[in-house]
Amino acid sequence: MGRFDGKRIIVTGGTSGIGKATAIAFLNEGAQVFIVGSDKDKVLKTCNELKHTALVGLHQDLERTENIAIFFKKLVKDKGSFDVLVNSAGVSHFCPATEESIENFQRTMKINVEAPYILSREFARQKTSLAKRAIVNVESLMSFQSRPGMSTYAISKGAIHQMTQSLALDFVSLGIRVNGVAPGYVDTPMVAEMKQVPELDQWVKDRTPLNRWAEPQEIAKAILFLASEEASYMTGETIRVDGGTLASF
């Protein structure tokens, strides 16, 4: 028996990295998992790779935020209500603020902030008899600090951290807990190029007291904890899974 037997879970960004690891972890705990990806081919590839009868792949471009509410309403109408929403999808790029384009800034805000906000709102609006539900947002070290060239990403992750706290208060009367996970440096496709540069790879290890990159599965474990009844008295909280990075300076 898994902790999530009979539960229905939505994971955005479920085709790679933290989102994929989270989807697999929920499947292993007995849940039916719906992964949402902006790339239709990657969604299909992930479903074919995992070959799990409880896995459903959904294509939705989260940059097209005007379509998200319609997408979610149709999903609930066709498939029924959901117990857990994991907002894991995100984008990042390096660019000094003096060189940043408004187009890149707006795209980052749409995917990293506006999309999870709309998804969370529609999740909360479900007409359901479910008494206990949960939202888990994937935040970042950049929710609390920044680095040169990372202003756009850091601003978006600061916003998602505040969203975690604000929606926790708005949704508490609906029986929905809202929490966040702030990963440190995680070995995912998003940082593949950075990890291949020996100097940058070593910088991350030196900056992290545990002296290594995190594995996506380690972040997924924290997400499942926050989504489970083990965290039944937690809402508006963010767990840092960063190898001790923010504890040092």
What is the set of active-site residues?
153
**Alpha-carbon distance 15 to 40, whole Å?**
10
- What's the per-residue H, E or C state across 142-160? HHCCCCCCCHHHHHHHHHH
**Alpha-carbon distance 63 to 74, whole Å?**
18
Angle at 67 between CA 62 and CA 73, to 5 degrees: 105
**Alpha-carbon distance 223 to 84, whole Å?**
11
Compute the Cα dihedral for 215, 244, 221, 13 and give only its sign: negative
- For the packed helices 151-171 and 102-109, what is the interaxial angle rounded to 10 degrees? 30
